[in-house]
């Protein structure tokens, strides 16, 4: 069975994602589509709008055959580490090809740029250091360094977010030396940072989340998400009374910062260069997460970088713990859901997997398992007051979703 992998967040799954899935299968002539999906917290340092289980169900109903989780240690990272983790998971599952959405829409420039950057790595590193010495953020320094290199050798722009991730997927394939090809689907209509839902059928996830967090609500997005996604979004807010936003978690974040000493904050992953003192100073001046981030933001640190730091503070993720997980091989692969086609594929490859494929977190051991279990519990905290079910144990005990190919039934394994 020929397989194609996609790296997703589905926050939430919208019509643009559905189009990407169709194109990925068509371009690669794949028999099975495997999605490695971020779990509770995402690459930009945000809580997922709704749980991994609802988003996995969205994926299966939209045409994905297997959904596995990208562990927290990779899902909340800068592009390079995020991409490396995703490629590790897809490679372990024997995926033939990764297909990603990009502003470029053509794959050759990604390969060309990876080769070009390897040949010019020393100059690249020196230029980034020179740019950062001026006080700018790393992404800004990297972009300016790229401009200073012989850019006419490549037509690929690294100022666009999906191109950046695509470049790092191709780079990770090369660095890890895995037998996987890459292909890309051009993004259509809406771009990553678009903030408005228009009358067109495709909108960015950013604009959809903005509408859901404001007064426009669900009705305003019905034309830009599949009916199945709409129904799951509706059921989630009916069941739990909320979607997950940073404002929900802000009181818990305040508590973590205020109870911590500077030394304790300094041990948190991504807390560098005296940021611990700025965290303590600004947290006492803000009453909302948005207000606090505005106070915390500096020229040197991007909003996304600071949101990721906030996530690690909330989840008490230390530098030592993160290093232990990311410097070792994958401890396991967490299966979130599959259909009958996906089950056939997994039955074929499971004997060759380099690590266990687990159906429940209760079956996992080690630092990565402890981290993922803790993160899932923290993510669930705001749901407890809105629902009497034992949601704190939900992720620990949940089994994968099994979807019948006829779409008429889904169940737990």
Query: What are residue 357's DSSP bridge partners?
Result: 333
| Cβ contact 303:40 at 8 Å | no
| 247 labelled binding-site residue | no
| 17 labelled binding-site residue | yes
DSSP 8-class letter at 294: H
Global pTM reads 0.91
| 187 labelled binding-site residue | yes
Q: Give CA–CA dist 378/42, Å, rounded.
A: 14
| 63 labelled binding-site residue | no
Average pLDDT over residues 311-330: 96
Confidence class of residue 214 from pLDDT cuts 50, 70 and 90? low
| 101 labelled binding-site residue | yes
| 212 labelled binding-site residue | no
- Indicate if the pLDDT at residue 323 is higher than 80: yes
| 192 labelled binding-site residue | no
For 337-367, how does the pLDDT look when each residue is reduced to its tens digit (9 = 90+)? 999 999 999 999 999 999 999 999 888 889 9
Q: Give CA–CA dist 342/33, Å, rounded.
A: 8
| 223 labelled binding-site residue | no
| 14 labelled binding-site residue | yes
Instruction: Give the other-Cβ count within 10 Å of 258's Cβ.
Output: 11
Of 407 and 375, the structure prediction assigns the larger pLDDT to 375
Domains and CATH numbers, the chain: 3-103+184-243+332-412 (3.40.50), 246-324 (no CATH)
- With tokens 């001026």, the residue in question is 134
| 400 labelled binding-site residue | no
Of 133 and 284, the structure prediction assigns the larger pLDDT to 284
| 20 labelled binding-site residue | yes
Note the pLDDT of residue 192.
Answer: 47
Segments in 177-274 forming alpha helices (H): 205-213, 227-240, 246-259, 262-266
| 244 labelled binding-site residue | no
| Cβ contact 39:86 at 8 Å | no
- Indicate if the pLDDT at residue 329 is higher than 60: yes
Tokens, residue 301: 């640190």
Buried b (16+ CB within 10 A) or exposed e, 212-240: beeeeeeebbeebbbebbbebbeebbeeb
| 13 labelled binding-site residue | yes
Average pLDDT, the chain: 89
- Indicate if the pLDDT at residue 157 is higher than 90: no
């Amino acid at each position: 069975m020929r397989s194609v992998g996609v790296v997703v967040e589905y926050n939430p799954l919208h019509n643009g994602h559905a189009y990407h899935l169709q194109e990925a299968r068509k371009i690669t002539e794949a028999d099975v589509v495997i999605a490695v999906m971020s779990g509770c917290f995402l690459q930009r340092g945000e809580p997922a709008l709704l749980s991994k289980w609802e988003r996995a169900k969205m994926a299966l109903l939209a045409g994905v055959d297997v959904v596995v989780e990208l562990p927290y240690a990779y899902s909340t990272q800068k592009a390079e580490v995020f991409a490396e983790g995703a490629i590790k998971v897809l490679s372990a599952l024997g995926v033939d090809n990764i297909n990603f959405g990009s502003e470029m829409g053509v794959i050759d420039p990604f390969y060309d740029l990876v080769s070009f950057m390897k040949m010019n790595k020393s100059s690249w590193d020196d230029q980034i250091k020179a740019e950062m010495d001026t006080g700018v953020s790393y992404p800004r320094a990297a972009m300016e360094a790229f401009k200073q290199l012989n850019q006419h050798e490549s037509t690929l722009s690294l100022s666009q977010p999906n191109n950046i991730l695509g470049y790092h997927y191709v780079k990770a394939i090369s660095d890890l030396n895995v037998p996987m090809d890459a292909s890309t689907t051009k993004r259509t209509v809406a771009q990553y940072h678009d903030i408005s839902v228009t009358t067109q059928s495709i909108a960015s996830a950013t604009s959809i989340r903005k509408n859901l967090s404001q007064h426009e609500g669900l009705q305003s997005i019905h034309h830009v998400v599949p009916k199945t996604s709409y129904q799951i979004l509706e059921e989630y807010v009916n069941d739990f009374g909320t979607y997950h936003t940073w404002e929900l978690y802000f009181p818990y974040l305040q508590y973590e910062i205020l109870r911590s000493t500077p030394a304790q904050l300094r041990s948190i992953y991504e807390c560098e260069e005296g940021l611990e003192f700025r965290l303590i100073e600004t947290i006492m001046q803000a009453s909302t997460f948005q207000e606090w981030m505005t106070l915390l933001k500096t020229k040197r640190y991007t909003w996304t970088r600071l949101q990721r730091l906030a996530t690690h503070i909330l989840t008490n993720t230390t530098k030592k713990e993160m290093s232990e997980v990311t410097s070792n091989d994958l401890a396991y692969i967490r299966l979130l859901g599959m259909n009958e086609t996906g089950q056939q594929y997994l039955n074929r490859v499971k004997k060759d997997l380099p690590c266990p494929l687990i159906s429940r977190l209760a079956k996992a051991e080690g630092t990565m398992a402890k981290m993922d279990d803790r993160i899932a519990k923290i993510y669930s905290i705001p749901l407890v007051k809105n629902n009497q079910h034992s949601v704190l144990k939900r992720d620990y005990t949940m089994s994968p979703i099994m979807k019948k190919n006829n779409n008429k039934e889904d169940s737990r394994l």
